[in-house]
Structure 1
């Protein structure tokens, strides 16, 4: 009888845990539920204009980032979280008529305003696409560089997002992240946490530098090996956390 009661208790506990997990998953997009939850807070979307464009140009932000990313004429580039298009229009000029820029965002109103800007400035080498919180919806094998500038900390489903982004790179393509070294609920992400999340989806850090011109840091990633199965991805902890994932404070 005692063993029977123990087995019943264990079964009830398992059912309760399963019910809690199912309830928790209802707050996530159905398309993200095969991937682990990111155990970190996410910054609220603060608007699509990170700061005044003139002040960013005065400190040579875009020029510095594009130089570090080795952007040149004829490249095909994606600008994820394009917002009002600060990087979109400057990338379009850098890659020239023989290159292409895809501007992506999840904010339909921001994309409408960007569309008006693209039309007004006659940027014929720019196209616009709407993504989702767990899928940038990029065409496979299309991009030499994928930019995520001051927006990665707002991605609520990073493992699903990066997993679906990775096939969009051409051979030798790279992902460029510009962000700030501060907690993820304060519109930044600590570098070690960024490195860990990318590594878990099959990326390798190729370069990392801090620059005053970009008001933060620049990180360049390359895809290596095969993409892991979504169920095999181990989530990272916050720096200083207690999970056994090798991410140290």
Structure 2
């Protein structure tokens, strides 16, 4: 039988020691190590987020068959001369249709966090000669929009994928002109199934200082339509109270 030395640790003991040291260096469950530093002053969202499977909700022909963009733009009151941001623009389904609606005197800013999608959209904008469209990358907790610039900000079938909603819409708020509105189109189902229950959507926007102006169930556009306006002074990040998932 082999004899274990008593004056130095064996290999198994060293392995346990190394494992303990490594574990001490890892972010503990529930700490802020998995979040952008710029988002940590805001509440953590109490909702799962499904992985992005596509930057395009569905093919454009199917969406045009149900006249989706026209119906949403009509509900949002999009008119010639307006300045509009398309957040999560993807391949540009709304970008190109908004550009046509606002006309030569209007402007559309297409934003996404997917560089490859923005490159493809840039090619499309050049090909279709959309001189009133600009393209800009954003961050997961900051849309990076200029202050007091937009009559409408669109978030179509993408808000449920925002991992830092409180930071994101707090930083989005100053970009609205007086009377400007945020337009959300999404689906009433859990966030991990590529949708967001309306109750949770309303709560997150209200927590950051928005009021709900209108909500319409729209089966004909495969979802619902909601619009919000900023209300009162902006809250400080540490004064924002996060929302619980419905049924939690």
Fold shared, TM-score > 0.5 on shorter chain: yes
Among 141, 158, 167, the alignment partner of 1:160 is 167
* 1:211 Cα deviation after fit: 1.2
Q: Distance in 1 between matches of 2:57 and 2:200?
A: 22
- Structure 2 residue matching 1:101: 3-state secondary structure: strand
Q: Kindly indicate whether residue 162 of structure 2 is the aligned counterpart of residue 191 of structure 1.
A: no
Among 207, 213, 220, the alignment partner of 1:213 is 220
* 1:20 Cα deviation after fit: 4.2
Among 171, 181, 186, the alignment partner of 1:179 is 186
* 1:106 Cα deviation after fit: 0.1
Task: Give the root-mean-square deviation of aligned CA atoms.
Answer: 1.2
* 1:46 Cα deviation after fit: 1.6
Among 101, 104, 108, the alignment partner of 1:101 is 108
Q: Distance in 2 between matches of 1:212 and 1:60?
A: 12
Q: Distance in 2 between matches of 1:221 and 1:137?
A: 19
Q: Distance in 1 between matches of 2:98 and 2:234?
A: 28
- Structure 1 residue matching 2:31: 3-state secondary structure: helix
In the TM superposition, 1:15-164 aligns within 5 A as 20=28, 24-164=31-171
User: 1:201-231: CA deviations, max 9, x gaps?
Assistant: 0000000001122100000001000111100
Aligned position for 2:239: 232
Q: With structure 1 as the length reference, what TM-score do the two structures score?
A: 0.88
Instruction: Indicate conservation of the 8 Å contact 1:64/1:213, yes or no.
Output: no
User: 1:56-83: CA deviations, max 9, x gaps?
Assistant: 0010000000000000000000000000
- Structure 2 residue matching 1:57: 3-state secondary structure: helix
User: 1:95-135: CA deviations, max 9, x gaps?
Assistant: 00000000000000000000000000000000000001000
Unaligned runs of 5+ residues in structure 1 are 1-15, 242-249
Greater Cα shift, 94-103 or 38-47:
38-47
Unaligned runs of 5+ residues in structure 2 are 1-23
Q: Distance in 2 between matches of 1:134 and 1:89?
A: 25
May I ask how many residue pairs the two structures share in their alignment?
223
- The structure having more radius of gyration, on CA atoms, is 2
Q: Distance in 1 between matches of 2:40 and 2:221?
A: 35
- Structure 2 residue matching 1:25: 3-state secondary structure: coil
Q: With structure 2 as the length reference, what TM-score do the two structures score?
A: 0.88
Q: Distance in 2 between matches of 1:194 and 1:156?
A: 13
Q: Distance in 2 between matches of 1:83 and 1:68?
A: 22
- Structure 2 residue matching 1:164: 3-state secondary structure: helix
Q: Distance in 2 between matches of 1:186 and 1:62?
A: 23
Q: Distance in 2 between matches of 1:213 and 1:105?
A: 26
